[in-house]
Copies of this chain bind each other. A is one copy, B any other.
Amino acid sequence: MPLSRMELKNVKSLLTKKGRNTTKMFIAEGIRLMEESLRHGFFPSSVYYTPVLLSERGFSVLDKFIRKNIKTTQISLSQMTAISDTQSPQGIVGVFEIPDQNLKEPYPKNYRNILVCENISDPGNLGTLLRTALAFDFGMILLCGDCVEVFSPKVIRSTAGAVFGLKICKVNLKELGLFINKTEATAVAAAIDGTSWSESWEKIQKGSPRPLIIGSEADGLSLEILNIATVILRISHSGKVESLNAAVAGSIIMKQIYDL
């Protein structure tokens, strides 16, 4: 049975921030994101599909959702186009609950490496940072200050599905400070006037947990965050550019810490 007008409107509203805030749901589309949802066991509450658009790989993903007893609804091509955020929809969309993003005590203990993003406003940069974080075992993300909304379609797409495998919390500076204090964390901040890797790695190696703090490209890290940091780290380079892209800077350090 196709979607009613009202249902379609509800799903479509998830493309907007207001709609996500009201319903506490978000939308993810495409075969790859649906595969990653299955892989990480972060299941949608509803799946919408349009057979005429589905590839063999698409049917296989749909089949897995059906076997998991997840609600699947066939919709028309025009309905799929209406709820899709991409130019060539692949015929499958999932609607998910936005998980609780509060960081409460007792703090989760199973994350040694943590990525802290301060004021990352570019969706592509935030998504890429999350994707790299999961790759290098930074399983928890703390979003601080004025970051772009993590459950927006653009960020979700840039994570390439990593969003389904991460514990993500929004914190203010006070909560971040408390967390660092109480867990005796070694907070590592990336900044242009920091020390080099060779001067810092031993201190970082011993740290547990290790929140790595990455700031916005435009303004760098806030003074408050720099005051919280145990180690301030600089990525040495030729100096032929003013700075690195925030996602690149974060990724390089996450790889270095992963390799320790």
Contacts and interface: CB of A to CB of B under 8 A. Distances in A.
A97 interface: no
A241 B134 contact: yes
Given A235-B255, A251-B251, 14 more contacts: A32-B242, A36-B242, A131-B245, A131-B248, A134-B241, A135-B237, A135-B241, A137-B238, A160-B242, A162-B240, A236-B259, A238-B258, A245-B251, A248-B251
B128 A240 contact: no
A244 B131 contact: yes
A136 B247 contact: no
A124 B124 CA distance: 9
Interface in A56-73: none
Closest 5 A/B residue pairs (Cβ): A135-B237, A248-B251, A135-B241, A137-B238, A134-B240
A258 B238 CA distance: 9
Contacts of A247: 128, 245, 247-248
A237 B136 contact: yes
A255 B255 CA distance: 11
B240 A137 contact: yes
A132 B161 CA distance: 25
A160 to B, nearest CB: 7
